[in-house]
Amino acid sequence: MITLRGLTKRHGGTVAVDDLSLDVEEGRVTGFLGPNGAGKSTTMRMILGLDHATAGTALIDGRPYARLRHPLREVGALLDAKALHPARSARGHLVAQARSNGIPVRRVDEVLETVGLAAVARKRVGAFSLGMHQRLGIAGALLGDPRVLVLDEPVNGLDPEGVRWVRELVRKQAGRGHTVFLSSHLMSEMQLTADRLVVIGRGRLLADLPMADLLARGASAPVHVRTADSGELQRLAGALRNADVTGDTALVARGTTASAVGDLAHRLGVRVHELRTLTPSLEQVYMELTAQSLEYGTSSEPKAGV
Ligand SMILES: Nc1ncnc2c1ncn2[C@@H]1O[C@H](COP(=O)(O)OP(=O)(O)OP(=O)(O)O)[C@@H](O)[C@H]1O
């Protein structure tokens, strides 16, 4: 379990992390979301003892990182996957990490196998692709089979198979009762991976909820409609204030409800062949939640809804 209490980090006049208190519990995957510059990496660096907190505490199973006897056996981390010596081999990196943490070297070959790098174990890391760097970073995090994993954008640069592999890996770790805390900007992937979400903006906590509760908090779920023919669809689309036509006879309406759309279709004499409330996307809910706290936002106007 990771426990943050009043965790704060200031860089001169910039408050990177602002009085953050939360528990990242074992047995589940907790997603860590926030716009660029929200303070996710800084929070993770403080958990891992790489940045000193200006105020507050970050504890791993009740102790600060600096007081862990065998850090790699208690917490595995992936922060900046590219920060590796380019001339060393993948295996060389992991062997050095294993030796300095009292981990048997045979574990290195196990994790290289787990992350799919066994065939390139003796290649120079300098020649690795971004995806291979990520896999090697994850191998390092898994080396000590720790009960806590802190992963900063682990799927960054991975192909779809790699993304899915990370998802299955972290779900398996949580299934073993381990604590997984991971950040990502890929909302659709986060929706599939995380049980719980922590959202921050400008260093402050915006939400700390189970996934289902966060999705339910969204303004409204989109409504899918299919009509009998395209002319009727056009009539219905013209009468809705916020609708995306998704096919000849299909549209998705936002900011409304299935009953309101059904009533409207009835009034217009539009024959509805399908009417369904869709699960709101995490992306949509996240965008609404963080709209006020974008450090580098664009100025597009939010759409009016009916
Ligand atoms: N060493 C530093 N000196 C000054 N400011 C810093 C330093 N490190 C981070 N910051 C600032 O702290 C804030 C939080 O940065 P951080 O990298 O933690 O955000 P993030 O949520 O990880 O962003 P991203 O999604 O872009 O990785 C930003 O405003 C950043 O500019």
- 200 belongs to a structural domain: yes
pLDDT tens per residue, range 208-217: 999 988 887 7
pLDDT tens track for 254-295: 889 999 999 999 999 999 999 999 888 888 888 888 886 665
Q: Kindly report, residue by residue over 54-89, the tens digit of the pLDDT.
A: 999 999 999 999 999 889 999 999 997 667 777 789
Q: Tell how far the Cα of 41 is from the centroid of ligand 1, in angstroms.
A: 7
Helix, coil or strand: residue 31: strand
**How would you list the strands of the sheet with 148-152, edge to edge?**
75-78, 148-152, 179-183, 28-33, 196-201, 204-210
Whether residue 204 sits in one domain with residue 232: no
- From residue 8, alpha-carbon distances to 30, 39, 46 in Å are 20, 10, 9
pLDDT of residue 294: 62
CB 181 within 8 A of CB 2: yes
Query: Strand 2-11 and strand 75-78: pairing?
Result: unpaired
Question: Which two tokens mark 32?
Answer: 């860590």
Residue 27's domain spans which residues? 2-216
| pLDDT at residue 188 tops 60 | yes
What ipTM was estimated for this complex? 0.94
CATH code, domain with 144? 3.40.50.300
User: Within a 13 Å sphere around the CA of 137, how many CA atoms are in the beta-carbon half?
Assistant: 27
Q: Give me the phi and psi of 5, to 5 degrees please.
A: -135, 115
* Residues composing the chain: 306
**Are 39 and 100 in a shared domain?**
yes
Instruction: Kindly state whether residues 196 and 229 are assigned to the same domain.
Output: no
Atom 24 of ligand 1, nearest CA residue: 36
Q: In what order do the strands lie in the sheet with 55-60?
A: 14-24, 2-11, 55-60
Domain assignment present for 86: yes
* Residue 62 belongs to some domain of the structure: yes
Q: Are residues 72 and 210 in the same domain?
A: yes
98-130 pLDDT per residue, tens: 998 889 999 999 999 999 999 999 999 888 888
Query: Ligand 1 pocket by C-beta < 6 Å: which residues?
Result: 11, 14, 16, 34, 36-42, 295
CA of 38 to the centre of ligand 1 (A): 7
Q: Report which of 217, 222, 240 is spatially closest to residue 278, judged by C-alpha positions.
A: 222
